[in-house]
Amino acid sequence: MKSQKSTTKQTRFVQNSPIKWVKHWPSGCSLYLILNIYRRMVHKGDLVVIGISVGLTIGIFIASLVFFGIRWYKKRAYLRRCSNVHSASTLPIRSNGRSSTIDSSADTTDSVSVNGLDNLAKKFQISWWSNRDKVRLASASGIPRYSHKDIQKATQNFTTILGHGAFGPVYKATMATGEVVAVKVLASDSQQGEREFQTEVSLLGRLHHRNLVNLVGYCVDKGQHMLIYEFMSNGSLASLLYGQEDRLLSWDERLQIALDISHGIEYLHDGAVPPVIHRDLKSANILLDRSMRAKVADFGLSKEQALDGSKSSLKGTHGYMDPAYISTYQFTTKSDIFSFGVILFELVTAIHPNQNLMAYINLASMSPDGVDDILDKRLVGESNLVVEARSLAVIAHKCLHKTPRKRPSIGEVSQAISKIKQKRLSKEVTMSFAEEDILQVVNRIGFQQVELSKMAAKNVPITV
Ligand SMILES: Nc1ncnc2c1ncn2[C@@H]1O[C@H](COP(=O)(O)OP(=O)(O)OP(=O)(O)O)[C@@H](O)[C@H]1O
């Protein structure tokens, strides 16, 4: 009875289903058989589940295809953007707070060239660096890469040493093009140095300013890392102030150096997007070119302000470090201002921070003309020295304020130094006018005397 009922049910299903048509086709006999067996094995509910599963699988497959397709497209577009960075004729910039565009081919401008490297640089800073990554980052920054052999030849087999820093030795080199450069070779055992190498390449690839030492190449070859900079023939400010060199920096040159450094820092703080904090400003990191124009060097410890949220271990150079940074571990642009204040006092006094400069400054700050006692004695005799040195010392004092937010911004410092320079120039002009007047009077008197003596010789009566 039960089986009869089920047979009736099955017949009804066959009559209502498309299978009933199949069984009437002559060629569909075997298909009918298969479907009939299948129908017996699988319930209607199972068919629904199978249908949904197949549908889902196809859906996931299509979604994955779309997802990976978009990722691949984005990656390709990003890499194309990176490689185009240096060929672009105009780049977005922000100079002193104003948005604008500038020709990237102009070599010396008060401008910032911002490119798509920031994210790449950050990505590389987060993950540890594989050799391939280093090469990719450096080449993406558009800086030419040299082989070990090129550098070996340019430095006459590493014999032209200029000096030695924490990073390693620095050599003078003449490249195949005839360009004279300085090559910093990273000591192979230095992990700190490797991180600094990475920072320098990623930052200097995008920062270009006439008051920053330009990175002109790099080398990652034979397990060695080298940075190639424009050559600064007059060495560092520290060596000129404290070294054995016969060359004495005049007051004029010192004022210009102060202004150059302030422009370099102004570019980092107010021009670069995001702003860059140098973190190791000191007289040894200020280099001078053949015209005695100053440029800021050594960006190994620098950080983009946006990245600088976390507290890291104390870094910098004793004597230049902001006391607020030492107590809070928080480095801001105002910590750079503090270090710059120390450099300004070095220019005025030629006293190194390691020789108790701070104690002298504190003593001098007790009276308005206190700075006169700590002036670099070698400058005595220079015109307007005392007045201008006092003005520069006032600016330097403000930079050293113990409360960081009460220190001036670098823009304000630049303006104040410019004013001293402008006043000096206008005084020089007035003085030279006065000198010219005197010279003219002297000449006229001389000429009249000659005329008189001629007339006297001819016995011509002289009328007054
Ligand atoms: N671009 C350059 N042109 C000419 N000389 C350079 C250049 N870069 C560095 N030097 C010289 O090489 C020497 C070492 O410089 P480096 O920057 O490695 O160390 P430092 O700044 O003296 O010390 P530290 O590494 O502790 O900051 C210095 O005498 C410096 O004047």
pLDDT in tens, 94-147: 222 222 222 222 333 232 232 333 333 333 333 334 444 444 455 556 789 999
Q: How confident is the model over 297-353, as pLDDT tens digits?
A: 988 766 666 554 455 678 889 999 999 999 998 889 999 999 999 999 999 999 999
What is the Å distance from ligand 1's center to 424 Cα?
A: 32
pLDDT for the residue numbered 191: 62
What is the Å distance from ligand 1's center to 163 Cα?
A: 6
Distances (CA, A) of 88 to 83, 115, 142, 207, 417: 10, 10, 12, 15, 35
Ligand 1 atom, smallest distance to 231 CA = 3
Active-site residue (options: 280, 298, 308, 376): 280
What is the Å distance from ligand 1's center to 160 Cα?
A: 14
182 CB near ligand 1 (under 6 Å)? yes
Ligand 1 atom, smallest distance to 184 CA = 18
Ligand 1 atom, smallest distance to 285 CA = 21
Q: Is 260 a catalytic residue?
A: no
Residue 391: name the closest of 420, 415, 411 by CA: 420
Helix boundaries (H) for 85-172: 117-126, 131-140, 148-154
167 CB near ligand 1 (under 6 Å)? yes
232 CB near ligand 1 (under 6 Å)? yes
Whose CA is closest to atom 23 on ligand 1? Answer: 165
214 CB near ligand 1 (under 6 Å)? no
pLDDT for the residue numbered 219: 93
Ligand 1 atom, smallest distance to 236 CA = 31
| DSSP helix, strand, coil percent of the chain (3-state; round to 5) | 55, 10, 35
229 CB near ligand 1 (under 6 Å)? yes
CB count within 10 Å of CB 128 equals: 9
pLDDT for the residue numbered 337: 98
Task: Give the whole-angstrom CA distance, residue 299 versus residue 450.
Answer: 66
pLDDT for the residue numbered 41: 58
Whose CA is closest to atom 29 on ligand 1? Answer: 163
**Predicted TM-score (pTM) of this structure:** 0.67
pLDDT for the residue numbered 432: 57
What is the Å distance from ligand 1's center to 188 Cα?
A: 18
Low-confidence ranges of the chain (pLDDT < 50): 1-29, 78-136, 308-309, 441, 445, 460, 462-464
